[in-house]
Amino acid sequence: MSETLPLSIQNNRRMEKWLRFQADRTVKLAVGKVEIGQAVLIALTQIAAEELDIALDRFVTISGDTADAPDEGSTSSSQSIEMSGRSVRLITAEFRARVIDRLARRLNCSPSDISVEDGAFLLDDEPTGHDYWNFSGDEDFAADISGTAQPKDPSTYKIVGKPIPRQDLKAKISGAGFIHDIVRPDMLHARVLRQPSREATLASYDEAAIRRAARGEFQVVRVGNFVAFVGADETTVQRAAVAAPNHAVWKNVRQLTPAHQEAAWYATQPSDDRFVGDPVPETDAGEVVTATYSRPFVAHAAMAPSCGLAEWRDGHLQVWSHTQGVYPLRNSLAEILGLTREQIVVRHAHGAGCYGHNGADDAAVDAAVIAMQIPDRCIRVQWRREEEFAFEPVGTAHMTRLKAVLDASGNPIDWTCEVWAGSHVQRPIYGGNMLTHEALPNPPPAPKPNDPPEAAGGGGTRNGTPLYDFPKKRIVHHLSLTTPVRTSSLRGLGALPNVYALECFVDELAEKAGVDPVAWRLAHLSDPRARYLIENVAKRCNWADRGPGGNGKGMGIAWSRYKNRAAYAAVAVEIEVDQEIRVRKAWIAADAGLVINPDGAANQLEGGLIHAVSMTLKEQVKIDGAGIASLDWSTYPILKFSEIPEIFTEIVHAPNQPTLGMGECTFGPTAAAIGNAMKHALGVRIRDMPLTRERIAAALLGG
């Protein structure tokens, strides 16, 4: 049976890891997935409350705590509800069945005769005097989870499928819900003088000049090339950190140029090549059409910079972090600091925005290294905004070249997707390095290029294989052996650039064939769930009346199934183009199977759309000199609140279908819909993101 269980259960078989009924008549639900704004905790609690028949307000849900929650790896790849949700459903269904079965034997009745109302057991609708709190015993919690219990039928749901409000919003709205708001006893603030690049060595620094600039008391912690300024006054250490780079001399600093920031640079570099799909034909038996698309390096651009806290007391290290994987972070800390895992507890605290691997883990390591040098004090490290932009891992630049071989009727009979990119995944769990670790004595070797396998959804190849009914299709992936700056996971990995390329190329083929883009898609697509979404969004945006375009106003459409196996989404956008592109309206149709919390689901879909609009129109990491040169909101602009389009969202009601991850499903279709709307509005195609004023002008001038 274990082969069919979710990995979360396979790695955490004991019931006590997940569930506990407490003396105050509350229920402790512990999960390994963490809240990063996707409303996962309320959804997981709804699942447990539904299966156990206990009121939601009795639950105390703990997540991301190596001392008190199961190890579910990282919160990533839209798998929280798919994996953790399925696990919680199986676990709570089994616990309910186990306790009711034992009670039925005591009462000499059938288990089906027993019902549950807010945790109390009823027999023929009459109280039995028993409930979960007084009838479940230690053996129920100590037992291994078999996963054999049958969960409820969705037709009986009373809590799942309801838009229950999130429990974390009140604190966040009032300014007390984030890691940045934590205040600990004996707390010291710290800032770091960053190693400008890997293998750079600190030749000297003028401590006296830094102290004059800081205008206050602080102490210096130096371990190898890692230097931190630590003190009771945050403003003082902040001033020290701002002044320090101007009074430090580094050797062996890398030198980069703006040429490194373009995705085309990867095509000139050595790569690890692999091939997925149908064999390459000996000859192209038809008309060949090609086009190349790209996305640049992009930042997470979190609303607040990274933060971490750590305490080293009595031989034990306690760490607070907005990491997406508390257990992987604990493993890294043990390796870096020479401690055992049992000496370390990592607790998740909410961060202010991030889908992917930003500087959270690095800030936690910063704090831990300092804490080891200053025991019995809580060390709080907060990165500066310039530090966040300059040193967080960024999403890699990515270039996709598509080639279609067409038959006499203009239909694709052979399809090749060729990708050039750096690593989309360099979390430490996948072999990446921590920034601070590279600055310590005896740093680790440079990480090897890495990318998730197709079984995990791929990285550079994610959504590279079209789901259209083309007879032959393949991917050629060139994983660069080097990257100019540190890259890692950012929302969707390769899905956004690949869907942008695929769905824009589909529009180009439809135009070449003289066929409406929606009709062309439907003619080459048999998946009924995808067809329904395309037809739905086309009807709601009045696609049939969009007109010929070319007047500065345009409408575009696109769709995908995230990772070719998670949630489906179709997106249409209406834009206006003057000196810049402005997305005025957007329509979403999505199918994610059984939806646990419709409000949370809509937030995910619409948040993904807004993020994609920002990335498509504005975002590009600038590279020059020692590394990243776009260090503030002026040099790395994102979408403003005033620029968010009016969004119309419809979610398919499919309670009998498995729940599918939806945090990233609108990301690629939104980008492609904007690209297609741009072509409709002005009659020119821009294949390289972001679609800036300069690129619009160049396209109109034929550049």
Residue 671 DSSP code: H
Euclidean distance between CA atoms 477 and 276, whole angstroms = 8
**Average pLDDT for 174-180:** 89
Instruction: Tell the CATH topology of 398-424+459-700.
Output: Aldehyde Oxidoreductase; domain 4 (3.30.365)
Residue 689 has pLDDT above 50, yes or no: yes
pLDDT at residue 82 in the model: 81
Tokens of 14: 């004991």
pLDDT in tens, 139-162: 888 888 998 899 999 999 999 999
| Amino acid residing at 513 | A
Per-residue confidence band for 310, with pLDDT thresholds at 50, 70 and 90: very high
Cβ atoms of 648 and 540 within 8 Å: the answer is: yes
Cβ atoms of 427 and 402 within 8 Å: the answer is: no
Euclidean distance between CA atoms 549 and 557, whole angstroms = 14
pLDDT at residue 475 in the model: 97
Tokens of 175: 């300014």
pLDDT at residue 1 in the model: 38
pLDDT at residue 380 in the model: 98
**Average pLDDT for 430-434:** 80
pLDDT in tens, 166-176: 888 888 888 88
Conformational region of residue 493, where left means phi above 0, alpha means psi within -120 to 50, and beta covers everything else: left
Euclidean distance between CA atoms 98 and 85, whole angstroms = 20
pLDDT in tens, 30-74: 999 998 888 889 999 999 999 999 999 999 999 999 999 998 988
Euclidean distance between CA atoms 141 and 178, whole angstroms = 32
130 versus 282: the higher-pLDDT residue is 130
Q: Which of 24, 28, 2, 26 is nearest to 13 (CA)?
A: 2
Q: Which of 242, 250, 231, 252 is nearest to 209 (CA)?
A: 242
The span from the first CA to the last CA of the chain, in angstroms, equals 61
Per-residue confidence band for 665, with pLDDT thresholds at 50, 70 and 90: very high
pLDDT in tens, 652-664: 999 999 999 898 9
pLDDT in tens, 340-394: 999 999 999 999 878 899 999 999 999 999 999 999 999 999 999 999 999 999 9
Per-residue confidence band for 3, with pLDDT thresholds at 50, 70 and 90: low
Q: What is 2-164's CATH number?
A: 3.30.365.10
Tokens of 247: 């009074």
**Average pLDDT for 107-117:** 95
- Cite the residue boundaries of each domain of the chain with CATH code 3.30.365.10: 2-164, 179-252+300-391, 398-424+459-700
Cβ atoms of 305 and 180 within 8 Å: the answer is: no
Residue 636 DSSP code: S
Dihedral sign from CA coordinates of 94, 100, 103, 104: negative
**3-state secondary structure (DSSP) of residue 567:** coil
Euclidean distance between CA atoms 343 and 310, whole angstroms = 13
pLDDT at residue 4 in the model: 80
pLDDT at residue 283 in the model: 84
CA distances from 138 to 13, 14, 20, 61 (A): 15, 12, 10, 20
| Helices 693-700 and 667-682, axial angle in degrees (round to 10) | 40
Residue the block writes with tokens 């550049």? 703
Euclidean distance between CA atoms 383 and 192, whole angstroms = 8
CATH 3.30.365.10: does it fit domain 179-252+300-391? yes
pLDDT in tens, 192-216: 999 999 899 999 999 999 999 999 9
CA distances from 151 to 90, 91, 178 (A): 6, 9, 35
Prediction pTM value:
0.94
pLDDT at residue 2 in the model: 42
Alpha helix segments (H runs only) across 37-161: 40-52, 86-107, 132-135, 138-142
pLDDT at residue 81 in the model: 84
Q: What is the average pLDDT score of the chain?
A: 94
Beta bridge partner(s), residue 118: none
Per-residue confidence band for 703, with pLDDT thresholds at 50, 70 and 90: low
pLDDT in tens, 499-516: 999 999 999 999 999 999
Euclidean distance between CA atoms 358 and 360, whole angstroms = 6
**Average pLDDT for 611-616:** 97
